[in-house]
């Protein structure tokens, strides 16, 4: 099969076709280099240029202030769950966690191994259907930091604006909505994200970190688990994921050519709205998240029965609409529609939903 299908996978996920084509063209030999990007030293001038393109592309797209470091690490967003408390949760301190879904729960679990935590909000009741209002937060004003998950990939619940945590440093796992809309980076102390949804392939983790956080890192941490190591060595203490950083540089170029994150956000809202409208126009489909918290990246919904959900995903797959099965922990249907997911795929899904309801409703 050489035809591309519509890939609704939550991650690793669809990448822009022009990015894949450029990578394919240059696979055997980068222009003027005679080797592929996977065969050159991470300390070579060629890779240095690629690295700079990835970093400056991200800085431009996200308007990252100069007092923030941009790091390309490994270990996935999951390793950040541990590195953050190891670096920033002092022995005598406590960290606030705002839990709006499954990934926030995992982050909290690792933080608890490192020190004291306070659950400032837990939206588990009702199965994580919304983010809390500021008046619902039980914040600790002396917390070392407050942690949120900007978009809960499994439940499809997204913060539309930052919670008000006062002067407490705000740390965000933005794995599944990074680059989908502009972010006021200055409101955060640290933002991290695995690359494999909206930025590139798996194996690279982006960390955007305000410089003053370096002062908080305790002595004695293992070298690779210490953010200072990666800042001082500009992400090249050890061999980075050169291929992943190369693809990120191409994705940034593609995004800039498309008009940046304001344009991308508009497109993402339009795509998500088409599916939410299809859900809301009938009693057959039932959206998981409350309207105000609906994700524009992961649209989650249920059908009247699990049997129908199984039938739905099987028939959709047969029609080239792949990856619609909800996460194994919650079931249902999940349509992940990241930046690179085409509008044509969304309209194909909406048509399929109408047709499926007509036959089974
Ligand atoms: C919001 C969020 N956080 C963390 C993770 C874990 O990322 P990784 O597999 O890169 O460790 C994921 C993965 O899907 C995610 O969606």
CA of 81 to the centre of ligand 1 (A): 10
Average pLDDT over residues 122-141: 96
Q: Which two tokens mark 113? A: 């191994």
Predicted pLDDT of residue 306: 96
Average pLDDT over residues 230-256: 98
| Rounded (10°) angle between helices 242-257 and 260-280 | 80
- Judged against a pLDDT cut of 90, whether residue 3 lies above it is answered with no
Average pLDDT over residues 41-65: 98
Q: Please work out whether the CB of residue 103 comes within 6 Å of at least one atom of ligand 1.
A: yes
CA of 245 to the centre of ligand 1 (A): 18
- Judged against a pLDDT cut of 70, whether residue 344 lies above it is answered with yes
Which residues are catalytic, by number? Answer: 103, 173, 197
- Asked if 149 and 177 touch (Cβ cutoff 8 Å), the reply is no
Among 175, 193, 241, the mutation site with the greatest number of ligand 1 atoms within 8 A of its Cβ is: 175
Predicted pLDDT of residue 111: 98
Q: Please work out whether the CB of residue 194 comes within 6 Å of at least one atom of ligand 1.
A: yes
- Asked if 209 and 91 touch (Cβ cutoff 8 Å), the reply is no
Could you give the angle at the alpha carbon of 208 between the alpha carbons of 85 and 116, nearest 5°?
Answer: 15
Q: Please work out whether the CB of residue 174 comes within 6 Å of at least one atom of ligand 1.
A: no
Q: Which two tokens mark 252? A: 């940034």
Q: Please work out whether the CB of residue 13 comes within 6 Å of at least one atom of ligand 1.
A: no
- Judged against a pLDDT cut of 90, whether residue 329 lies above it is answered with no
CA of 18 to the centre of ligand 1 (A): 25
What is the rounded distance in angstroms from the CA atom of residue 146 to the CA atom of residue 139? 8
Q: Please work out whether the CB of residue 336 comes within 6 Å of at least one atom of ligand 1.
A: no
What is the rounded distance in angstroms from the CA atom of residue 321 to the CA atom of residue 341? 12
pLDDT tier at 330 (50, 70, 90 boundaries)? confident
- Asked if 91 and 115 touch (Cβ cutoff 8 Å), the reply is yes
Atom of ligand 1 nearest to the CA of 11: 14
Predicted pLDDT of residue 1: 59
- Asked if 166 and 139 touch (Cβ cutoff 8 Å), the reply is yes
Among 9, 80, 176, 195, the mutation site with the greatest number of ligand 1 atoms within 8 A of its Cβ is: 176
Compute the mean pLDDT over every residue in the chain, rounded to the nearest whole number.
97
Residue from 209, 200, 210, 204 nearest 250 by CA: 200
Q: Please work out whether the CB of residue 332 comes within 6 Å of at least one atom of ligand 1.
A: no
pLDDT tier at 126 (50, 70, 90 boundaries)? confident
Atom of ligand 1 nearest to the CA of 149: 1
Closest residue by Cα to atom 16, ligand 1, is: 153
What is the rounded distance in angstroms from the CA atom of residue 342 to the CA atom of residue 201? 18
Q: What is the b/e burial string over 41-57, where b = at least 16 CB atoms within 10 angstroms of the residue's CB? A: ebeeeebeebbebbbeb
What is the rounded distance in angstroms from the CA atom of residue 251 to the CA atom of residue 133? 34
CA of 77 to the centre of ligand 1 (A): 5
Average pLDDT over residues 146-156: 98
What is the rounded distance in angstroms from the CA atom of residue 278 to the CA atom of residue 288? 14
Instruction: Please state, for a pLDDT cut of 70, what percent of the chain lies above it.
Output: 99
CA of 195 to the centre of ligand 1 (A): 9
3-class SS of residue 291: helix
CA of 157 to the centre of ligand 1 (A): 14
Q: Please work out whether the CB of residue 100 comes within 6 Å of at least one atom of ligand 1.
A: no
Residue-wise pLDDT tens digits, 285-318: 999 999 999 999 999 999 999 999 999 999 999 9
Q: Which two tokens mark 186? A: 């200055």
Q: Which two tokens mark 224? A: 């690779």
Q: Which two tokens mark 355? A: 């047709």
Q: Which two tokens mark 320? A: 């080239």
3-class SS of residue 290: coil
């Amino acid at each position: 099969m050489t035809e591309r299908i519509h890939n609704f996978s939550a991650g690793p996920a669809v990448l822009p076709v022009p990015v894949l084509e450029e990578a394919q063209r240059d696979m055997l030999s980068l222009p003027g280099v005679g080797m592929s990007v996977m065969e050159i030293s991470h300390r070579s001038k060629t890779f240095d240029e690629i690295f700079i393109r990835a970093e400056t592309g991200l800085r431009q797209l996200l308007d990252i202030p100069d007092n923030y470091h941009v790091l390309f690490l490994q270990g996935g967003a999951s390793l950040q769950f541990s590195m953050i408390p190891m670096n920033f949760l002092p022995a005598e301190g406590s960290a606030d966690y705002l839990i709006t879904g499954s990934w926030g729960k995992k982050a909290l679990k690792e933080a608890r191994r490192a020190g004291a935590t306070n659950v400032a909000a837990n939206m588990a009741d009702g199965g994580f259907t919304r983010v809390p209002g500021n008046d619902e937060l039980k914040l600790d004003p002396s917390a070392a930091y407050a942690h949120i998950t900007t978009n809960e990939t499994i439940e499809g619940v997204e913060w539309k604006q930052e919670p008000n945590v006062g002067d407490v440093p705000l740390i965000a796992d933005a794995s599944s909505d990074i680059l989908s809309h502009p972010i006021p980076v200055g409101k955060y102390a640290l933002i991290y994200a695995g690359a494999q949804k909206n930025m590139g392939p798996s194996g690279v983790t982006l960390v955007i970190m305000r410089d003053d956080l370096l002062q908080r890192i305790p002595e004695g941490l293992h070298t690779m688990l210490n953010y200072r190591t990666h800042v001082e060595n500009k992400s090249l203490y050890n061999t980075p994921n050169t291929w992943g950083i190369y693809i990120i540089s191409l994705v940034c170029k593609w995004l800039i050519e498309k008009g940046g994150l304001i344009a991308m956000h508009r497109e993402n809202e339009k795509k998500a709205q088409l599916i939410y409208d299809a859900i809301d126009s009938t009693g057959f489909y039932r959206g998981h998240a409350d309207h105000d918290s609906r994700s524009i990246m992961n649209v989650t919904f249920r059908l009247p029965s699990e049997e129908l959900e199984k039938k739905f995903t099987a028939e959709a797959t047969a029609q080239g609409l792949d990856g619609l099965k909800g996460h194994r922990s919650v079931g249902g249907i999940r349509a992940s529609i990241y930046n690179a997911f085409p509008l044509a795929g969304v309209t194909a899904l909406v048509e399929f939903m109408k047709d499926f309801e007509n036959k089974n409703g």
